[in-house]
Amino acid sequence: MSGENQFNVRLGKILSPNGTGRFVSFAGQVRRAAQRSSRSAGGRVKRGPVTEQYFSRRVIVKVHLVKMGAYGKDAQRHHLDYIQRDSAAREGEKGILYSRDEVFLDGEEFHERGIDDRHQFRVIVSPEDGKELGDLRTYTRNVMAQMERDLDTKLDWVAANHYDTANPHSHVVIRGVRDNGSVLIIPRDYISHGMREAAEHVATLELGPTNHIDVAKKLALSVRHDRFTSIDRDLLAKAENQIVELSKLPLDGSDWSQRFEKWRVKHLSSMGLAEKVGFGKWRLDDNLERTLRRMGDRGDILKAFHRTMTRVKLARSQNGEPIYDPMANYAQPITGRVIEKGILDDVNDRSFIVLDTMQGEALFVETGREANTAQIERGMVVTAGPQSYAPKSSDHTIADIASKRGGIYSPSYHEMSDPSAREEFIKAHVRRLEAMRRLGHAERNSDGSWAVPKDYLKRAAKYEKSRGYGNPVRLDIRAREPLAELSTTLGKTWLDTELMSEKSESHSSGFGQEVEALKAQRQKFLLSQKLIQRSSGVTQSTLDTLEKLDLDAAGEALSDVFGKPYKSAPQSGRISGVYRKAVRRPSGKYAVIEKSKEFTLVPWRETMDRNLGKSISGVMKDQSISWTLTKARGQSIS
């Protein structure tokens, strides 16, 4: 072949043999390969030569687009620090960043170079056979070179390799600019499929393709694994209402793979995660996936837990399981001081915290997505508790109105059924239906009404549970400041709510003992300030007074910044203005709402941050507030 006519052979995805042009799933490829190599249509073993079938190496690729606004710039700097952390490097090595031709010890230069980008991309590349790759750095560079050829531009990127999980993987940060200075727009299809295919192509070139016998061996070995496997994923996909049918012989000849499923479900039964309910019928446990994932992660979890206890040099008696399980029937909320916060698995975006609890024990709490712990830092006091996966109250309202209107919900029907319902309240129900529509659980009609299925509440519960895998526990921050400072703070603190609570228990060991001493100091301080009486103690009126003192002090300090007087927010009624910033106070987090001649402080809500610098309006009622952002054409969104 002439050197002037070079071409590059790419081992792409195997397409369906029926001519549809659709991709065949990985499990489907295995079934077809096994069928062709083992049995004929009549069920006899084939005689004669068998054509070997090969598959590409599998790679997980996850992409996250980051908008480089005021918050995005700081978030990217934090992300660069995170991916080059020493703890993720190989033992004895320092965490480093590298690019196409260079190796860095910090990413500040890259961060400054991209500080004015409109957006950037965070990419995780995790080859299934990453341990077999001799040099993950070379592999990542080859993947990025392939992406540059596919996108027809040089890319400005840095990466770091992580070896602290079962599969070595790379974190890549790509600037959102092309080599000609224009904005880099990566097509949706390339993000969804193309990046993974490029990574699999490079892995297959470096390690060679794998055949169906190798794949079958991996599946066979996973039958008795005490972790979540691809066979479990197939079982859940086949199940209807958690019941899987394995008695019928598949007509497509995939009985070979069904044998693995039968063996697997028997193993699950021995673990108490499946129950036989008829001939060939098995009921899978509602928490099958979560339980198996937790069992598979147990070793990594205990290592992270013991590393934390060693680092902080904290000795705590462990009377029971050190891993908090919010799904257990006996699970109760736990309160404690955060002694560690970290990432359990950054490929699948799973984080954790370790709490020094009021009961004198230390517990490991898996917290789901990293974003769930964005506001949590070491030293804070946090309550972790079970999540509720029941349908929301708005779901019950929607289902009730639709049942009386022939399966149709509309804002006008809602107003007719409840004349006292505020506009913001009704809009919240419409937003809920929008979220359900995206998953096919409701349908929007052309006239603005909604078609609601009869099993809507069951679908809503399933939707809430599906979201729970990324949000397994409810986290409530009780105190952000060091506890020692709270005893003499003029503001509403967690110690005050503990003093007022009738359910507050006395603790005599560990963190609980420390809290008891601080509660006594706090009570003496409140008495000295004449904020409580010995006879009555802390009441709701005390909390309101402390919060007002705190906000008045904050308003006085902010008056010099804004050049306007501070005015307390009303207890009820409408509030409008420009959302300028958020401020943290001992009493909590508050938003600064600026008007033409004054400003006020109101309780902050997470949804407000995307409206920074914009006009918002809301309605205060019973110490809660519902906010809206008014757009140019009169539309409102939360």
Burial class (CB in 10 A: 0-12, 13-18, 19+), 376: middle
Q: Provide the terminal-to-terminal Cα distance of the chain, rounded to the nearest Å.
A: 63
- Identify residue 590 by its one-letter amino acid code: Y
pLDDT over 80 (residue 231) = yes
Look at residue 254 in the predicted model and tell me its pLDDT. Answer: 56
Mean pLDDT of 460-477: 83
Look at residue 187 in the predicted model and tell me its pLDDT. Answer: 92
Cα(251)–Cα(256) distance, integer angstroms: 12
Look at residue 91 in the predicted model and tell me its pLDDT. Answer: 62
Q: Using pLDDT thresholds of 50, 70 and 90, give the confidence band for residue 21.
A: very low
* pTM of structure: 0.69
Return the structure tokens found at 165.
Answer: 């999980």
CB 609 within 8 A of CB 71: yes
* More confident site: 51 or 494: 494
Look at residue 6 in the predicted model and tell me its pLDDT. Answer: 56
Angle at 226 between CA 221 and CA 229, to 5 degrees: 60
**Coil vs helix vs strand at 87:** helix
Computed over every residue of the chain, the mean pLDDT equals 82
Q: What domains lie within the chain, and their CATH numbers?
A: 26-54+213-286 (1.10.10), 60-135+151-185 (no CATH), 290-387+471-475 (no CATH), 393-468 (1.10.10), 481-538 (no CATH), 544-637 (2.40.50)
Residues 6+ apart with CB under 8 A from 136: 130, 161, 168, 169, 170
Q: What is the CA radius of gyration of the chain?
A: 29
Look at residue 402 in the predicted model and tell me its pLDDT. Answer: 93
560: how many CB neighbours lie within 10 A of its CB? 8
pLDDT over 90 (residue 553) = yes
- pLDDT, tens digit (0-9, with 9 covering 90-100), for 125-170: 999 888 888 788 999 999 999 999 999 999 999 999 988 777 889 9
